[in-house]
Amino acid sequence: MYDRDALAAAHVIDHQYRDDLSVVVPMLNEQDNLPELYRQLKDALEPSGMRYEIIFVDDGSTDQTWRLIQSFAVGDPSVRGLRFRRNFGQSAAFAAGFNRASGAVVVTLDADLQNDPADIPMLVQTLHDQNCDIVSGWRVNRQDKYLSRKLPSQMANGLISWVTGVALHDYGCSLKAYRAEVVEHLRLYGDLHRFLPALASWMGVSVVEVPVNHRARQHGKSKYGLWRTLWVLIDLISVKFFLSFGTRPSRIFGIIGILSMLLGTLLGIYLTIFKLVTGADIGSRPMLLLAVLLVVLGVQFISTGLLAEMMVRIYYEAQDKPTYALREELGWPRQPEPVSAVVGR
């Protein structure tokens, strides 16, 4: 049973939240799985005692997915539905669900029935018991093919954990629970949804990983393949850059530029001394061209860093966007949100 009083005592729940829990479910052409998913969600959430909402996000389905969501909403006030005009991707679906979520805790899961809705109360309770910000599911007994799914996933998880510094066994598991103040500050683009715990790490969040049930897909087929490993590597570069240099891009570009200029200058000094001592012709030497190229590249890298620094300042200052995240406040009354922001939710 979900301990609502204990959670409220441990964390001050913002007055704007209408519910205890928001469940965000992105989907694409899942008409065969959706009725059973809805039944299992209700079976898992009703006995918990939580006030909840289920946000189904139709990511441009071409089957009867949206009609099923509409039928659920007719007799169930806890059902919410968002329908995209076309397929924008899972990250966009998560972002839309997060923007509309009104719960103090936000849980995400896939619609293919491989995630077990019965694990949701356990995730929420762990969020309270461990006093953490994110509870991430770990598919210990994953029901997927080893070579095509499990092995690439294990390699990707190890690489992501090493690069980002947020060690998880299973970044690809969509079954996760977040405190609302964590996801409301995240901005998702491309396919960054799989890096959510790492992206949130800049706020100093605490992450706990727990084993969850995993089941074989019964209907439809996976939307992912081996090709996504390449996209993970490319996205990981972006994530690492934004986590380490998102507010100070001039450092990475400046270091590369200074090293390039220094090496080019040293080569130039060497060639000058060689010319003065031996009198040899250095005009046709490839090393001279390399020295000039390194100096020019160094200037370009430093200039790029300065331009990036200016763009970052414009990004933060024009939007009055903070470069920090508060866990809580003490001694100051909370400033009310603009009416438009509240209505938009």
pLDDT 10s per residue in the chain (345 long)?
Answer: 445 444 444 344 444 445 799 999 999 999 999 999 999 999 999 999 899 999 999 999 999 999 999 999 998 999 999 999 998 888 889 988 998 899 999 999 999 999 999 999 999 999 999 999 999 999 888 876 766 667 777 787 788 888 888 889 888 899 999 999 999 878 777 677 788 888 888 778 899 999 999 888 777 666 555 556 677 777 777 777 777 777 778 888 889 999 999 999 999 999 999 888 888 888 788 899 999 999 999 999 999 988 888 887 776 666 666 555 455 554 555 554 444 443 344
- Would residue 208 be called left, alpha or beta, if left means φ above 0 and alpha means ψ between -120 and 50 degrees? beta
> At a CB cut-off of 8 Å and minimum separation 6, what does 84 contact?
57, 58, 59, 60, 92, 93, 96
The pTM score is 0.72
| Residue 241 CB partners (closer than 8 Å, separation 6+) | 249, 252
